Amino acid sequence: MMIKKDVIIIGGGAAGLAAATACRRLGIEDLLIIERETTLGGILKQCIHDGFGLIKFKQSYTGPEYAQKYIDQVEELKIPYLLDSMVIDLSADRVLTVANKEGLHKFQTRAVILAMGCRERTRGALSIPGNRPAGIYTAGVAQNLINIHNYMIGKEIVILGSGDIGLIMARRLTLEGAKVKMVLEILPYGSGLPRNFNQCLFDYDIPLYLRHTVVNIKGDKRLQSVTIAEVDEQGRALPQTLKEIPCDTLLLSVGLIPENELSQLAGITLDPVTGGAMVDEFGQTNIPGIFTCGNALQVHDIVDNVSLEGEQIASGVAKYLSIGLSKKIDLSVQAGEGIRYVLPQRLHYLEDTIFSFRVQRPGHHQTLVFKTNQHLIKKKTFLQVNPAEMIRIKLSAQELAGLSNLKVELEL
Amino acid sequence: MIYEIPNRKFDLIIIGAGVIGCSIARQLSRYKIKVTVLEKNSDVGWGSSGRNSGVIHAGFNNKPGTLMANYCVLGNQSFAQIAQELNLPYKKIGKLVVAKKEKEVKELKRLKKQGETNGVKNLEIIEASEIKKMEPNLQGVAALYSPETAITSPYHYTISLAENARQNGVQFFLNTPVQGIERIKPDKFIVITPYASFQANYLINCAGVYSDQIAGLVGINAYRIYPCRGEYFILDKKASSLIQHLIYPVPHPEEGGLGIHLTPTIDGNVLIGPSNEYIEDKEDYSVTRKVLDKLYQKAQEFLPVISSRYFIANYAGIRAKQSPPEQGGFQDFLIEENPTVPNMINLIGIESPGLTAAQPIAEQVVAMIDQKEGLSSNPDFNPYHPGILRFAEQDEETKRRLIKEDSDYGEIICRCEQVTKKEILQAIDNPLAARSLISIKYRSRAMMGRCQGGYCLTRIMELLKERYDFKPEDFLLKGPESPLLVGYRSKGVNNDD
Ligand SMILES: Cc1cc2nc3c(=O)[nH]c(=O)nc-3n(C[C@H](O)[C@H](O)[C@H](O)COP(=O)(O)OP(=O)(O)OC[C@H]3O[C@@H](n4cnc5c(N)ncnc54)[C@H](O)[C@@H]3O)c2cc1C
Ligand SMILES: Cc1cc2nc3c(=O)[nH]c(=O)nc-3n(C[C@H](O)[C@H](O)[C@H](O)COP(=O)(O)OP(=O)(O)OC[C@H]3O[C@@H](n4cnc5c(N)ncnc54)[C@H](O)[C@@H]3O)c2cc1C
């Protein structure tokens, strides 16, 4: 039995909730959010620190508070949602298979919004040598165990990677009475937001070692120590700098990867740099009618941008359903000098478009330029750029008219 | 000498619950004999039996006339039946030994001939063009193709043997390291462990890398085991489309391994490894940067398309070798009753192809006991162990029916491997009562996928708490001294600002 829908949103985190509410406000009646957890809200539920909402609401909320603002809207707008339900298959013709306690369900939908969030990179992906004892956690799992389940995971902690979740957890663990011995970062600069270094490490006298990594893990049963080393330009350990640090816990905060197993089942083309789908200005993937936003598309630094992105794609979904999206142009967008990636990767509709991207390295007084061939289209100077911070810039339809190619780069 | 009064009496004690000990246990449970297995770890199969390539070898690598050759061929040819009885995943995917240079072709021919002498069926030498057809990503001048070579899940196999033996009456004592053995009569042994002693008329020593030390406990000093480590990379399932067969280089027997190879696993991942390195410590399962880099390089020589993007985990296993480092190579299995200590059977140097050969080895050991004791068969023996039904592998109709019958099938706990609550609960409630996270992982496949438990670990912990009222200190990764947690967090702190 096939259940028909106009729009199904996979994932009830910040992105899915923002997309759903925006879709409803644009008049889409027949939509459904499918969420595998027991409540809506996604990863925000375990982020009990504050600092969420500064852009969107000009006010600082905790993660659960921020999520609640959207959950309230979902309730007000009477948007239906299925909880405890996992989408286990998605086909290119937009048939979803969903498993829950009531059974296995099939949905045929006109449009899909992929908002599955992301997962954490693990030790295996880094292939850190050594033993495999208890006491090695990714930062997000540690956050979940502590904040949601009220457990304590260790006493003497080393954190590898300076991503935001790791920084937040450094503070959290310190406040819970653990000794956070150090945070190690293999790059010559931190990968989290500057404010988090100040508020979570320096305020608590937790040392940050740049250009350092873990080269060995000891302990057969529970972690006993890690061996750390300084690294050279290529990230190789310098043998004369090896040092053994006794600890019972190693926290990994070494990156997030967009969750795209379903996208691959449907045959969606992924961008090897972002790990998310290749999209056009409406967040539509190479498969018509399948859209994506949030951490499933690209890993975001702050949730406000996730919400904005979710809201943005709704207009494309609404158009797709009402009049259809017909391509006017086919323009590819390139990341040039100093830019790690840029989204959307392709433009088709000559619309006002918000581009989001990240720089490759931190820098001061950098000028960002949008160019076509050698012509300048737009230029903006930043006092500071940082790979940790996503940059969003809008170009109008006018600015985009008549281009045959488009490149974003930092001016040297 | 004073020891605890023997409080547990058995006819026979098996020391070590690897694939060998568990096969012997199951084979003995076909007869009326009171058997127990003593294992130092918190579960079965944590020695080399759970840390190998999972290949059911055809038997062309071993010298004709050796136990290794005979048992390997027998084991390969009878594996389908065991797989059926124990409901094991098992696939004859075939193996290619690939010659990269013209001068290696001679060795392929020698292997083929050796295999045929051993009784291996359907061996074939194929040309470069044929290789390309079978494995488009691969290059070689010729290859030996062995269609009988198969793969299985080695830990699944060991666990199923043990659980089936348990259901047929064998007792298992986990967390029970053998520390001493007293012979109170020529045919009566008392086996001493930290918490209890056990008495029996027969002893089977299949303690893997420690089998020499176990023999030493009764004064047999004739054996010596040299631990030799093999390290592996595990690749994401996405790499599984790259190869269809087991891909081996032409072996250089003096190395004492079969060379670094690419092995599709039964679960759909790909292994790169194992390396081959004599080490000091018999339980140093750590992996090293040096070897990992070498594995990666070797794998790329074979298959340039392999990249580090595919890495999800790594591990190491340790071979129990009789040949010392300066000699290398393979020495035949030694399965004997040492003349100085009758009624104790020692299994020494059960290295590769020990997984393949486990069943014939078990039959041999039971035949030795039978000859002395005259065993009568156990009418209640049930060879079947259906194990845990994998939801993810069922067709849609079956999935629907399963959820209808039990709604726990509708709750997916591990997203990467699509393992349901029902399967996790079955894994938690296993007949051996092994409840470490690793035990649950090996039985259910939860936490084995690309996120390595990022999603499901906390959910599985919740189930343990609901079901067995676990306190923080009860959550163990792999037995005592491997706690996941140090307690509850300090109360009341709900916001850190
Ligand atoms: C651990 C962590 C800490 C963070 N901390 C901060 C912070 O301090 N400040 C800040 O501003 N930002 C923070 N962020 C960033 C920001 O909060 C997140 O990027 C944002 O909440 C992500 O929203 P999302 O909807 O894209 O993903 P998620 O919140 O992860 O939501 C995805 C949802 O999809 C569901 N789902 C996935 N697959 C399926 C499926 N197959 N079927 C059904 N449901 C599915 C998931 O259960 C989940 O609920 C953090 C992010 C993470 C990961
Ligand atoms: C890297 C590698 C790859 C391999 N690949 C293959 C392959 O592809 N195909 C194949 O056929 N074979 C393969 N093998 C060989 C195969 O794994 C072994 O032959 C087989 O697992 C040996 O089983 P076992 O029961 O003798 O040893 P183990 O599995 O090591 O079991 C011995 C058990 O004894 C226990 N023990 C030790 N001391 C004590 C004590 N004092 N008290 C109580 N218990 C004790 C240990 O904890 C352990 O559980 C490989 C081996 C290695 C190392």
Q: B233 and B134: one domain?
A: yes
Pocket test for ligand 2, best of B355, B356, B359, B439 (most atoms within 8 A of CB): B355
Q: Is B94 in the pocket of ligand 2 (CB under 6 A)?
A: no
Q: Is A66 in the pocket of ligand 1 (CB under 6 A)?
A: no
Mean pLDDT (chain B) is 93
Tell me what pLDDT residue B312 has: 83
Q: B314 and B452: one domain?
A: no
Q: Is B203 in the pocket of ligand 2 (CB under 6 A)?
A: no
Q: B310 and B369: one domain?
A: no
Number of domains in chain B: 3
**Given CB atoms, is B457 within the 8 Å cutoff of chain A?**
yes
Model confidence pTM above 0.90: yes
Q: B345 and B315: one domain?
A: no
In a domain, B489, yes or no: no
In a domain, B497, yes or no: no
Residue closest via CA to ligand 1's atom 33 equals A11
In a domain, B491, yes or no: no
Tell me what pLDDT residue B254 has: 62
Residue A119 to residue B451, Cβ atoms within 8 A = yes
Interface test with A, best of B297, B406, B407, B489 (most A CBs within 10 A): B489
In a domain, B492, yes or no: no
* Closest ligand to Cα B41: 2
In a domain, B460, yes or no: yes
Q: B80 and B118: one domain?
A: no
Please tell me which residue, B257 or A39, carries the higher pLDDT value.
Answer: A39
**Given CB atoms, is B340 within the 8 Å cutoff of chain A?**
no
Tell me what pLDDT residue B256 has: 60
Final residue before a domain boundary, out of B348, B369, B387: B387
From A397's Cα to the closest Cα of chain B, the distance in A is 38
Residue B466 sits in which domain range?
391-474
In a domain, B47, yes or no: yes
Which CATH number goes with the domain that contains B443?
A: 1.10.10
Which CATH number goes with the domain that contains B332?
A: 3.50.50.60
In a domain, B60, yes or no: yes
Final residue before a domain boundary, out of B321, B343, B370: B321
Chain A positions touching B403 (Cβ under 8 A) are: 99, 101-104
Residue B485 to residue A153, Cβ atoms within 8 A = yes
Q: B185 and B86: one domain?
A: yes
From A168's Cα to the closest Cα of chain B, the distance in A is 10
Q: B431 and B329: one domain?
A: no
Residue B454 to residue A218, Cβ atoms within 8 A = no
Residue B410 to residue A99, Cβ atoms within 8 A = yes
Q: How many CB pairs under 8 A join A and B?
A: 151
Tell me what pLDDT residue B4 has: 47
Which pLDDT tens digit goes with each residue over B327-359?
888 899 999 999 999 999 999 999 999 999 999
Which pLDDT tens digit goes with each residue over B465-497?
999 999 999 999 999 999 999 999 975 444 443
Final residue before a domain boundary, out of B321, B354, B369: B321
In a domain, B463, yes or no: yes
The answer, yes or no, to whether residue B68 has pLDDT greater than 80, is yes
Residue B308 to residue A127, Cβ atoms within 8 A = yes
Q: B253 and B131: one domain?
A: yes
Say what percent of chain B tops pLDDT 90. 84
Q: B164 and B56: one domain?
A: yes
Among B residues 304-323, those touching chain A with beta carbons less than 8 Å apart: 308, 311-315
Q: Is B273 in the pocket of ligand 2 (CB under 6 A)?
A: no
Residue closest via CA to ligand 2's atom 25 equals B18
Kindly state the average pLDDT of the residues B282-303.
90
Chain B positions touching A172 (Cβ under 8 A) are: 496
Q: B397 and B377: one domain?
A: no
Any residues with CB less than 8 A from the CB of A254 and at least 6 apart, and which? A120, A121, A126, A160, A161, A163
Q: Per residue of chain A (412 residues), what is the pLDDT tens digit? A: 899 999 999 999 999 999 999 999 999 999 999 999 999 999 999 999 999 999 999 999 999 999 999 999 999 999 999 999 999 999 999 999 999 999 999 999 999 999 999 999 988 778 888 999 999 999 999 999 999 999 999 999 999 999 999 999 999 999 999 999 999 999 999 999 989 999 999 999 999 999 999 999 999 999 999 999 999 998 899 999 999 999 999 999 999 999 999 999 999 999 999 999 999 999 999 999 999 999 999 999 999 999 999 999 999 999 999 999 999 999 999 999 999 999 999 999 999 999 999 999 999 999 999 999 889 999 999 999 999 999 999 999 999 998 989 999 998 7
Q: B111 and B235: one domain?
A: yes
- Residue B440 Cα to ligand 2 midpoint, Å, equals 20
Q: Is B57 a catalytic residue?
A: yes
Chain A positions touching B479 (Cβ under 8 A) are: 221
Q: B232 and B308: one domain?
A: yes
Structure tokens at B8: 């547990």
Q: Is A51 in the pocket of ligand 1 (CB under 6 A)?
A: yes
CB-based contact A250:A120 (threshold 8 Å): no
The answer, yes or no, to whether residue B2 has pLDDT greater than 50, is no
Any residues with CB less than 8 A from the CB of B492 and at least 6 apart, and which? none
Of A131, A151, A220, the CB nearest to B488: A151
